[in-house]
Amino acid sequence: MKSEFLETIKILDGTPYHLEYHQKRYESVLKHFGINEHKTLSDYINAPKDGLYRCRLVYTPQNLEKIDIEFIKYNKRNINTLKLVYDDQIDYSLKSTDRTELNQLFEKRQNADDVLIVKNGLLTDTTIANIALFDGVWKTPKKPLLKGTTRERLLDSSKIFEADIKSEDLKDFSKVALLNAMIDFDIIADKNIKDVFC
């Protein structure tokens, strides 16, 4: 895994969203490397005042002074179908700039818009989002590849709940939602769940 890591922060009309969750994850990555010092991310964010942007903040644990930041006009990628792909070795527990493994799995999507990765028999994430599935309550995989900031926030507010979800359990759910900092909680609409997975 590369030693560069990132936070993707939603910026709308100059306002960063849910920055405390990004700060918490940034600090947890540093602690993973035995580093207790940290910067305050908000000090680095001088965002455009109009429009929706994806703030890409890249940092290196070994050099706390090195924080690169860019603001990218955000265009939502439409995802309506997901292909199940299987990989028991993939590790993306830290939000690294090295997405090699994710990109390789994305290439297996065939006609689907993205892939849903199954690891050790359990559903995890797509290449860009955590997921939640509805069976009367919204459940999110207990063992995601990455603990996303939106996922953590929705767990904290008891809007979603953790569960081990096997691929064969998909038939028990009626809706699926994608979760990330830019799209928040995005239900894949106008779809029977059976039509989402291919």
Does the pLDDT of residue 116 top 50, yes or no?
A: yes
Q: What is the mean pLDDT of residues 143-166?
A: 98
Instruction: Kindly indicate whether the domain formed by 5-73 is annotated with CATH number 3.30.470.10.
Output: yes
Number of H helices, E strands in the chain: 4, 12
Examine the pLDDT at 104 and tell me if it is beyond 50: yes
Does 198 score more than 60 pLDDT? Answer: yes
pTM for this one? 0.94
Q: Report which residue type is found at 141.
A: P
Q: Are strands 161-163 and 122-126 parallel, antiparallel or unpaired?
A: unpaired
How would residue 190 be classed by pLDDT, with cut points 50, 70 and 90?
low
Please indicate whether residue 2 or residue 40 has the higher confidence score (pLDDT): 40
Residue 193 confidence class, pLDDT cut points 50, 70, 90: confident
Break the chain into its structural domains and give their ranges. 5-73, 82-196
Predicted pLDDT of residue 67: 94
How many Cα neighbours within 13 Å face the side chain of 90?
30
CA–CA separation, 156 vs 188, rounded Å? 23
Residue 1 has pLDDT above 50, yes or no: no
Quote the DSSP letter at residue 92: -
Coil, helix or strand for 179?
Answer: strand
Helix runs in 33-166, H state only: 100-106, 149-156
Q: Say which CATH superfamily domain 82-196 falls into.
A: D-amino Acid Aminotransferase, subunit A, domain 2 (3.20.10.10)
